[in-house]
Amino acid sequence: MEDKDKIFDAIIKRVREEPYAKKMGMELIKLDEGYSKVKMEFKGDMENIFGMAHGGAIFSLIDEAFETAANSHGTAAVALSMNITYIKPASPGDVLYAEAKEVSRSGRIGTYTINVENEGGNLIAICQALVYRKKEELPFLNLTLSKK
């Protein structure tokens, strides 16, 4: 197994075990270097006061895709900034997909675009995000790799 496959397996396992991702019903469905796709069903307990998807729920989905794409290189990366534009409200029962793509990566900074669409391909939100790349490898990487 290649190192990148080991990194991907470790991230996928961590997301499956992550309490917040479980609470929100998020599932990491695709991961590659600098790329991630995460899905989440918009459920009734995610509604805001208008009966639409709460912006925080959509932000959570965006953040999960951003986090996994940014950390897919095996070194710890943390968010510096995220700029979200909400385009269209999601409907209850919609399955939402956040797709994060790396636009650029230097030694310390990475730039990403994250789009959220429903299963019909309707654009729900867009995000531009910056990540700071630390020098350390992912803290859970050695633990996960040594158990294999």
80/133 Cα distance (integer angstroms): 10
81/120 Cα distance (integer angstroms): 29
Q: In the chain, which residue ranges form alpha helices assigned H by DSSP?
A: 3-17, 19-24, 55-70, 141-146
SS3 (DSSP) at 122: coil
- Find the angle CA(109)-CA(135)-CA(38) to the nearest 5 degrees: 60
Sketch out the chain's domains with CATH numbers: 3-146 (3.10.129.10)
Q: Where are the beta strands (DSSP E) in 34-94?
A: 35-41, 75-86
pLDDT in tens, the chain (148 residues): 468 889 999 999 999 999 999 999 999 999 999 999 999 999 989 999 988 899 999 999 999 999 999 999 999 999 999 999 999 999 889 999 999 999 999 889 999 999 999 999 999 999 999 999 998 888 888 744 444 4
> If you search the block for the tokens 């998807």, which residue do you land on?
53
